Structures are given as C-alpha cells and as structure tokens.
Structure 1
Amino acid sequence: MAGRENCVFSLVTARQAASAEDYETALPNYLGSLYQLPLAERTQYLDEFCDVFYKWLLAENEDMSRALNLLPNLRQLFPNTCRVLFIVNKHLYDNSRNEMHLFECLKLCREILHIATSAEERTVARIMQANLRSGAFDQWHIRMINDEDRNRKFEQALKLRIKNEEDVVYDIGTGSGLLSVYAARCSKNVRAIEENVALLDIAKKVFTRNAVADRVSLLFGNSNDLYLDEKADVICAEILDCCVFGEHVVRSFISAHERLAKPSTVFIPSKATVYLRVLECEEEYKNFSKDFEGRRYISKFCGLSEEDGDYWCHTVSDLPNPRYLSPSVPFIDVDFQSLSALRSLSNVEKHFPMPIVASGTAHFLVVHFRSELAPGVELDSSELGSCWDQGIYPFAFAVPVEQGGDLPVVANLLDGHLLNVYPEETVFRDMMQEIAPRIRLVDNLLRMENRQTCEWLLEQLRDEPLDKVRNCTKFRLLDIWLEPFMNQEEERRNGELKHYTTMLAWPGAYDGSLDDGVIRQIFETDFNTVQRIFPEAVTIRGCLFSSKSLAALSRPDPSKHGDVDLSPISTYSLFEYRELDLARSDIFFCSDEFDLITMIFSRENIASKIYELIYKQLDVKPTSNGGIDGVLYWFSSTGYDNKKDLCASFLFSQPFMVSTDDTIRLTLDLHKGNMLITGEKL
C-alpha cells in the first residue's frame, strides 16, 4: 500500500510538472511511478506518458543519446508496445543524419514489425523501413557489384599484386566486402575499412558467410581519419566515380601514401586516364536548356551558376539517338602509385581543342576513363554494360560544329576535384550577349517536362479565376503559366494564402512518384477559405511489369558475384524506381491495368483523415508466362491519365516466375503521402 501511495504522489507530481511544461521533472516522475504499478495497470497511462516523453525529446532535439539511453527502460516499462518505439524512431529519423542513428532506426523498425499487432502499425513500420533502407547507402553500390567484368578484373589484380599470405592488404571503402573476400583468399592479413554503418554490418556478415572472417579485420571509419601503425604491402581503393575525381579519390590516395604506405606498397588501381568527347543529343538537351514563353531556362548543370562542378551522370548508350562528334581526347593522367604526381593535381587547368570528325550540333562534353588495376588488367568506363555512367557536362548553349574544325575547351581541377569542363568563353560570347536578359537558371528542367499533365490541369480550370488558384505541385510549367496572375504582395504577407479559393493539387510528382508534399497540403486544407481542390478525385492505377535492365540496377545478382556470397546486401535492394518512360523498349507489361486506390478529396474525407493511413491488399492475374519484377503505377482522373509523362514503379524484393494460372497478391501501404507496394506469389 505504501508503494501505491508513493505512486499516486509521483503521478500527481508528474502531471503538475507536465501541466507547467516542465518535462525534465515530469518524465522521471512518470518513469518512477509507473514502474511500481502492475503491468496491466500501466497501459491506462500510456497516452499521457507518450505525450510527455515526446515533448521531453523535443526539448533537446539535437541530443539523440537521450532517446537511445532510455530505450531499455521503455522496453521494460511498456513491453511489446509499438507506440513508444515509434516515438524514438521518429525522433531519430527526423532530427539526425548520423548513419549510426539511422541504422538504429532500421533495427527499431524490425523490432516493431516483430511485435506489431495491428495492420496500421505494420503499415507505418514497413514504409519507414523501406525509406531507411533506400537511404542507407548510395544505391549505385548494387549496380557496381552486379558488374561481372569489374569484379573479375579486381580479383585478377589482387591475385597479381598479393605475393604471399603474409602481405598486409588494406581495402579502403570495402562496401559490401567483395574485394576484401578476394584479397582474403590470397592473404591472411586483410584490413577492410568502411565508414558507412549499414555497409559495415553487411561486410561483417559477408566475411562470415564466405569463411574469411578470421583473415579480415573490419575497421569502422574514414581512411583519412584512421591512424594505423601497420604499413600495407597492397592498398586497394575502388573509389572512382564516373569522372574519376568525384569521390575525392586524390585526397584519399595522398592520405594513404602518407599514413598507410611504405616505399614498396603497390596500389590498386595504379593509373587512370580521363577522356573527353563531344556529344550531340538534341532530345536529352531539352532537359538542360529550353526556350519557353519568351525565356531561356537553363539548368544549373550548364555551368552558368556559381555552383560549378556539377555534372550529370548517365549512360550515353541509354540516351535517345546520341551521336559523338569527336574522338575521345585524353584530358589528364593520374598516377596513383606516385605521391608527388598526386600532389601535383591540386590545381590544374588545361585549354585544348576538341577535333570535330562529324558536322552537327554540340550539346555536351562527355567524360569517361580508363584505369589500370595491375599490369595487363584495365577497366574502361565507356564500355557497354559497365557499372559506371559517363559524366555529362551540358553546354549553356548548343554549338554548331563542322567536320574538320575544332571546339576549344577548358577543363580544370581544384584540390584534386574535377570542377568543370566547358567550351571556351569565346564560343558563347555572342550568344550570351544576345539572350542574357531572358535567361532563367533552374535546378531541374525535368519539372518542365510534364507538359501534357499541366495543359490538362489548366484546361480543366479554364472557367476559374486564375488569380485565385494556388499551385501545390512542383511543376515548373504551372508556376510559369500562373505567374502573371499571382498577387505577389498577398503571397509575401506572413505566408498567408487566404486569397486562394482553388488548390491545384495533382498528387503525381514530376518524376512519376506520389508527391507526399502535395498530399500533406491536401490534408491540411482549410475549407473555410478553400472552396475547391482540383482534381477532386484521383485514382492510382497500376500494372505488373518485367524489365531485366531495371532489375540489374536494383537487386544484387548472385550470378555476377562469382563464387562470393553477397546475400546479406539483398535486404537493401532498391524498392522504387522513378522517371520511367513507358515507351522504353525494355519495359514489358505483364497484366491488365488495375486500380490500386481512388482518393476523393472532399471536405468530409479530409476531415475524417481516411487517406492518412491505408492498408490494402488486392490479387492480380498475370497475362503472360515468365518473370515479373514489380508494379508500374501512374495517376488517372476524369478520363485523363499521365502515362505519356514520366511514371514510377515499385520493385519486388525478388522476381517471380509465373504462369497465367498464378496469382500475385499486392499489398499497398499508404501513410501521410508515403506509399509502398509489395507483392507475393500465392
């Protein structure tokens, strides 16, 4: 009885402190008092405890240790209760970009999914888990380990360079651990360095699965920050981006020379040569420079902004009708074996002519490289099927060129980082003077490519006063068309939007995905001022599909890994792929079209929040035999759909081999504008 009296006293203190917003006093009192209650009685205080706990975290929202240190107590206080774990997870996810904390979020998602008792809890956890996995590390890593030629050549180089089992081998940026496994088959002294927490966890499992854990020491951190006494016989660092220099490879190799190497140390790769080539591709150039409504819209990638050093990564062979107008011209040689040569790359500027071998219009300079890993073992990033894209530097203006002539070019490095590659100023001088007043720099011209959808939206609003229309989308075309009707003074005043009566809220983003920002604005609609949301109803439609090329970019392919088991990385397969043109020849429809969900944006539905959390399953029959990789989806409203614009897709964790007699069960999770579609074969 004395304990219960003390408990009541503590709860009174806790509630008084919470009422006074003194959460530092309130939370310990809640914890101390609730511990003394029987487990069955604690749940009646769960709501008020969670409210205080959340506000206690917000008071010091930059200190993640408060939440993590309290986790054991929370699990004991409210065992198998998802709600408190969700609060910790959301706090870490919203307030920290630290990889360690995000990795803790992933573990919490797994715990929540294990103990969840409701479909709603599982929906929220699945979506959060998918988002965390997609951002755990750069997704090109999967494409890289699926490059069989790259893997084979690094294995060859390591076998050539490691002389005996006693050699000390450093693998800088081990990633999933593939190259360290190769090295460990030749040496028992491999040191694998990795700074990404998720990849570190994967590599540890990979070493165990491949029976080399006793031959590899796994080191957490950036190689530039680690101080190790043991000098290397071999240093392997596969940190080349498509332009060689993007991942600060020069700085990393200089650091490795200074702190990890001895005079006899050999480096993999040992050399690289960077090449430039002039490209014509009119269709792709529209994504970087466009004349519209009397203005010239130019992407920041074109080098006219102060943010020099931007380039576009793409596989040239995948572009629409690409045509090279020059041969490959070497720009610079990199000798990774020489410390003095690496130091000389701190600041380099070169001016040289690009010989034109075919008349046409120059739109881009393309960067690719060749790299010697070991004598007789060479990589070429321009080869078809390479995991590397090419670096694409778009011109601010298209340049007519003639066969037999030259295009003068300047390329420079700053601190060993490729800053920019562009035609000499004289090439653009006259063009610049002519249209300078009409130039508008934009971040992403793809937002101007949804013309069909934008035209349809405005056509439906032809009877609306456009000065009363608020554009909630990120479509740049709509901003341009509505700009003359905007009341700028009203727009600026304290962010007020009271003069708008119509919300233009197409929920599809420019890249084809569901735009959670638009959905959130719909949920927050004030119907005291807004009379109409347009479109009033939208259906998300879908279709099963297959695509070998997309599958190769999104899932690890064991057939490309030789005899190395990289299965632990399959957990991080890419689950969503965007910016898809359904006219692509490598996309095949494998079912009839079907409705995934219809959302009606009425006052009643918004008030009832029926679309904030949705869990739904539907069964789909394939229309063909063979493999199915996932679900394509797009948006439809009142007789219109955006299939001719860019669409998006969700990819299954593994492909399904099916016949027309099979059934695929799809699960749709939707939470506050975040969507996830998964599938299983019944």
Structure 2
Amino acid sequence: MGSSVNGGPGGRVSNNGVDKGVDFANYFCTYSFLYHQKEMLCDRVRMDAYYNAVFQNKEQFVGKVVLDVGTGSGILAIWSAQAGAKKVYAVEATKMSEHARELVKANGLEGVVEVIEGTVEDINLPEKVDIIISEWMGYFLLRESMFDSVIVARDRWLKPTGAMYPSHARMWLAPIKTGLGDQRINDYESSTDDWHRFLDETNTYYGVDMSVLTRPFCEEQNKYYLQTSIWNNLHPHQLIGIPGIIKEIDCLTATVEEILNVRANISSSITEEKTRLCGFAGWFDVHFRGSKQSPARLEIELTTAPSENNGTHWGQQVFLLHPTPRVGKGDDVLISFSMDRSKENHRLMEVEFGLEMRHLAGRNPQPIKKKFYIE
C-alpha cells in the first residue's frame, strides 16, 4: 500500500476540511520508509492475490493505460507494465516516489511506468485510463480512509468502460472466544496500580498531591486497554458463531458518502457448546472481477479472514467484551453495528455495538451496548 489521500505538505486545507500539512505529518510519512513497505511486500497473501489478479488476467492489461493510486514501492505499477500495459501512471504522495522511480528504472520499465509524486487530488494526467489498480485497504478495510482517493481518481481519470482492481470489497463480523480480554484487563489493572504507587511516591518525596488527575488517567487507560480494538491474527477455531457481512462495496460505483459510516444489523448463530462470548472479530475480503464491459478471465480473492496458516499484516480487528456473557450452541446473537470516522482524526474509526442474546433455554440477559475505537 502506498499513500494518496488528501495529503501533502504546505498547510493547505482539503475539501473535507482536513489540514493537509497535519495529515501529511500524521499519516503519509509512515509510508515514506522502506521498512514499512517491506512489511507489506512480505505479506504473501497480499502479494500473491495482486500478482495473480494481474498475471492471470494479462489480456486485460495488454495495450492498456493504467493508474496505480498510492504506488508505494511501485510493485503494482511494475507488474502492470510486465503484463503488457502500454502506459502506467504511478502516483505516490511521499518521497517513496524516488525509490519507486529507481526500482522502475532498475527493471527496465522507465519507458512505460511514469512515477508522479503528488496526490490524485492535485496531479493532472494527460489522458483517461483503462484500469485503476490500488492497494488501498486499511485495518478492517476502511481505517486510513484511503479509498477516498481511489474514488477521486476513478471519477477524474477512469474511462466509462474502465475497470477497478480490486473491483469489490466486503466487511465481515463474527463472535469469538479468546484469552485476550483477560490479558487486557490485567494490563489495565497493572496500569492503575502503578498510577497509585506513582501518586504516593510523588506526594512523599516531592510534596505534590496529584490525585486530582486520577480520574482522567483512568479514563485514558480504560479507553486504551478496554475500548480500543486489537490487531490479531486469529485461528478459525476461535470463531464461535456464523460470520455475517456488514458492508459490501462496488468499487466502480461507491461514493465517499457511502463509506463515511457503516450501519448493519445482523444475527449470528452460536456454533459451539457452552462457551463465553469474548467479543467479535472484524475482517474484510476484496475481489478482482474486472468490470461488466471487461470481466476478468479468472476472479481472484484476497481475504483477511482468520486462517490456519496464512495470516496477513492486516489480521483481524478484535473487539473485546467485559464481562463475557455465556452462550451455547443454537443461541442467536443479534448485533447492531455502527462505524463512523473519528471527529479528531478522519483516518481513525469509532465503533458502537448493540447486542441482544436469545438463548435456546433460560433467561435472556439484558442488552449490551459498547463503544470501541480503531486507532
């Protein structure tokens, strides 16, 4: 994944009211380091999916004009050229563009691939393109809000008959069992215990009573340990209910307004005998289908679902419940899900769950409401 969302130095304000200089400092700079690019390039699930999407559908690229949004190291642009594209515009917002340019040259493709430093919101191309390729997905798909830039690129530069790679995306949610919740509670309690030791020592040795800060400190730690989602690569056996789709996106027609928030009501039937509902896992998959006018010969899927062997650098977002209600096979968990962009940082997300358990036997517990942060 590269970078190309409403960014760039200079203190300008984008159409969505975000200061571009602040956005560049907070977000884009991460992608200007090779170590971060290497992390993504070592993700074999990610790499194989994009490689196969391009080279198993070479006829879609031969003689075509391609735009790579957020090119990063330039790998997708290089593959597009190797597959037969006659011209590839590789757009990158950071100085990683210099490395991409060198890589293109080292692979003898400087006559085909043109690396452009800038954002798709600001740059201009001399022509419309046949294909937009981009690895824009963040944690739980929409974190980072990079898909905004892909939509801008599509609306500005894609031909009416053009194709998007990937073409479709889905967000999934499922109930899970895990020991992560106990670990987080222990970490939270250790943090607050340490705070009280700090108060005693500061008062004893330095004569300053700082206990007035206890409440905001505990609120801060509570948010970090108990309300912030966790990145994790789960095993399939940790799923205790049937996964449900909470969002489907057609990359060819989606609008920014459509992805500003996600709302879903789903029901998941518990598949495991007598266990605890420790929380939920959220993940995504994307599909490379081409377009109606130019369908892919072979559809490729990239999934970040819990896996026995091949985890991804995205993993899953884990939302932990405290306390953990008891559930059993055949029980239904009714989930009301909402996800919005953070008001403080449009690249981060705020999530709210509303839960109702319907047990096959016994009294149903009170509904649960919980707020989480994806940071």
2:300 aligned with 1:377: yes
Find 1:300's aligned residue among 223, 241, 251.
223
In structure 1, what is the equivalent of residue 18 of structure 2? none
In structure 1, what is the equivalent of residue 41 of structure 2? 145
Find 2:258's aligned residue among 337, 344, 348.
344
Deviations 1:283-306 (A, max 9, x none): x213433484999997425776xx
CA RMSD of aligned residues (A): 3.9
Query: CA–CA distance in 2 between the matches of 1:276 and 1:430?
Result: 19
2:108 aligned with 1:217: no
Paired amino acid for 2:282: V
Deviation (angstroms), 1:343:
4.4
Query: CA–CA distance in 1 between the matches of 2:157 and 2:338?
Result: 29
Identify, as 1 or 2, the structure richer in helix: 1
Deviation (angstroms), 1:155:
2.4
Deviation (angstroms), 1:430:
8.1
Q: 1:153/1:135 Cα in 2 relative to 1: closer, same or farther (>3 Å)? A: closer
1:371-410 correspondence to structure 2 within 5 Å: 371-374=286-289, 375-382=298-305, 383=307, 384-387=309-312, 388-410=314-336
What is the total number of aligned residue pairs between the two structures?
A: 300
Q: Is the 8 A contact 1:165 1:189 kept in 2?
A: no
Query: CA–CA distance in 1 between the matches of 2:121 and 2:163?
Result: 18
Q: Is the 8 A contact 2:230 2:318 kept in 1?
A: yes
Q: Name the % identity.
A: 19
For normalisation by structure 1, the TM-score amounts to 0.39
1:501-516 correspondence to structure 2 within 5 Å: none
In structure 1, what is the equivalent of residue 204 of structure 2? none
**Gap runs ≥5 in structure 1:** 1-62, 64-95, 101-131, 305-309, 433-440, 445-682
In structure 2, what is the equivalent of residue 264 of structure 1? 161
Q: 1:145/1:397 Cα in 2 relative to 1: closer, same or farther (>3 Å)? A: same
Find 1:251's aligned residue among 141, 148, 160.
148
Find 1:411's aligned residue among 330, 334, 337.
337
SS in 1 for 2:170: strand
2:353 aligned with 1:422: yes
After alignment, is 235-244 or 134-143 more displaced?
Answer: 134-143
Query: CA–CA distance in 2 between the matches of 1:314 and 1:225?
Result: 36
After alignment, is 144-153 or 418-427 more displaced?
Answer: 418-427
Deviation (angstroms), 1:344:
3.2
Deviation (angstroms), 1:335:
0.8
Q: Is the 8 A contact 2:136 2:147 kept in 1?
A: no
Deviations 1:101-139 (A, max 9, x none): xxxxxxxxxxxxxxxxxxxxxxxxxxxxxxx9x984385
Deviation (angstroms), 1:235:
0.1
Q: 1:330/1:144 Cα in 2 relative to 1: closer, same or farther (>3 Å)? A: same
Find 1:188's aligned residue among 73, 86, 91.
86
Deviations 1:59-112 (A, max 9, x none): xxxx9xxxxxxxxxxxxxxxxxxxxxxxxxxxxxxxx98979xxxxxxxxxxxx
2:102 aligned with 1:177: no
Paired amino acid for 1:209: A
Query: CA–CA distance in 1 between the matches of 2:354 and 2:237?
Result: 19
Q: Is the 8 A contact 1:277 1:328 kept in 2?
A: yes
Q: Is the 8 A contact 1:147 1:385 kept in 2?
A: no
Q: Is the 8 A contact 1:302 1:393 kept in 2?
A: no
1:241-640 correspondence to structure 2 within 5 Å: 241-282=138-179, 284-290=180-186, 292=189, 299-300=222-223, 310-317=228-235, 323-339=238-254, 343-358=257-272, 359-374=274-289, 375-382=298-305, 383=307, 384-387=309-312, 388-414=314-340, 419-420=350-351, 422-424=353-355
For normalisation by structure 2, the TM-score amounts to 0.68
Query: CA–CA distance in 2 between the matches of 1:276 and 1:373?
Result: 22
**Gap runs ≥5 in structure 2:** 1-9, 11-20, 194-217, 290-297, 358-363
Deviation (angstroms), 1:411:
1.8
Deviations 1:28-48 (A, max 9, x none): xxxxxxxxxxxxxxxxxxxxx
Query: CA–CA distance in 2 between the matches of 1:285 and 1:354?
Result: 21
Query: CA–CA distance in 2 between the matches of 1:140 and 1:408?
Result: 38
Q: 1:371/1:98 Cα in 2 relative to 1: closer, same or farther (>3 Å)? A: closer
Query: CA–CA distance in 2 between the matches of 1:397 and 1:222?
Result: 45
Q: 1:229/1:356 Cα in 2 relative to 1: closer, same or farther (>3 Å)? A: same
Paired amino acid for 2:266: F
Deviation (angstroms), 1:141:
3.0
